[in-house]
Chain A
Amino acid sequence: MMRVLLAALALVLAGPVHAQDKLPPAPYAYRQLDDPAQEARAKALMDTLRCLQCQGQAISDSDAPIAGDMRNQVRLRIAQGEDPEAIRAWLIERYGSYVSYKPKVDALTWPLFAAPLAFLTLAVIVLRKRFAKGRVA
């Protein structure tokens, strides 16, 4: 019993091993831009950029250092007057479209957009046929 308690105590006291840096976060990682309009633009962009380390999250949701650094870069560039879509394009050029959460129609993704339209058209045709038949009978 004593041993179990000791083991439990050791677990409670043991600090987690962090493979992380000791530097403070980048200046604009956790600080909003002073201009609310600029911050809104930065936020909208950061909500649709993927964190490269914690890949299910947007950089605006993540506490990973690299996400903080990316927020810093996004905010600085927005503050310099750069267009959010230009920043997105810059990142896509480096990481591929994987880095962006914003849906985009291209050679690979067009069926996702075309399929619902095709199904809807098909449904309309089938239903019209059914109703037409019903009227005749």
Chain B
Amino acid sequence: MSQVDTKGRRWTLWLPLGLFVGFVVLVLFGLFRPAERTVESAMIGKPLPAFDLKAAVPDRPALKSSDFSGGNPRLLNIFASWCLPCAAEAPQLEALRRAGVEIHGVAIRDTPGDLAVFFAKYGNPYSRIGADNVSAIQFAIGSSGVPESFVIDARGVIRYQHIGDIRADQVPLILAKLKEAER
């Protein structure tokens, strides 16, 4: 071996250590960065899957996918009486309803009795409510929890997904998305 050879390779001696340090930094970065826990639906821009649900409560009609066609864009709200954020979301849904938004609800794994108590306490902003006792709608639409809201345009296409409860400061955003869906 010549001397030039060893000199030329000296820096490569540090290469494994450098790679290792880079790897540790990567792991630490992944470890301390808060993980993204929401699962976004891949159905945005696609038509609402066909469904036909029974009425969840006696005083509101049942819900099927064709109820979303024609007229103005609507909000599909997936909720449950046993879900705490859904109760927190109620005033915002009421505000949207007063702003002229038609809101259709799907009650997940719920009973008419529990729903009646829920509505007596928090109000009922829905025009129609379908009962889904096996979360079938959630799988069909790519929703992974309650509450979730979807903007559906008049052609029945899913335009926007809101994961989690709609906060007071997010009402304008939802209204803007509904407006956007008119086009």
Using a CB–CB distance below 8 Å, which chain A residues touch chain B? Answer: 19-23, 26, 52-53, 55, 65-66, 69-70, 72-73, 91-96, 98-99
**B141 in the interface, Cβ–Cβ < 8 Å?**
yes
CB of B69 to closest CB in A, whole Å = 21
Q: Are A95 and B42 in contact (CB under 8 A)?
A: yes
Using a CB–CB distance below 8 Å, which chain B residues touch chain A? Answer: 37, 39-43, 80, 82-84, 108-111, 114, 133-136, 138-142, 144-145
Which residue of B84, B114, B144 contacts A19 across the interface (Cβ within 8 Å)? B84
Q: Are B135 and A19 in contact (CB under 8 A)?
A: no
Known: A52-B144, A98-B39. A65 touches B111 (CB 8 A): no
Contacts of A20 in B (CB 8 A): 82
Assembled-state Cα–Cα distance A109/B179 (Å): 38
Assembled-state Cα–Cα distance A18/B14 (Å): 55
Assembled-state Cα–Cα distance A99/B144 (Å): 10
Q: Are B145 and A94 in contact (CB under 8 A)?
A: no
CB of A79 to closest CB in B, whole Å = 14
The residue of chain B having its C-beta at the shortest distance from the C-beta of A18 within the complex is: B82
Closest 5 CB pairs of A and B: A52-B144, A94-B142, A69-B135, A21-B109, A26-B134
Contacts of B108 in A (CB 8 A): 21
Assembled-state Cα–Cα distance A20/B114 (Å): 12
Known: A65-B135, A99-B39. A23 touches B111 (CB 8 A): yes
Which residue of B111, B114, B140 contacts A94 across the interface (Cβ within 8 Å)? B140
Q: Are A22 and B111 in contact (CB under 8 A)?
A: yes
Known: A23-B111, A96-B42. A73 touches B37 (CB 8 A): no
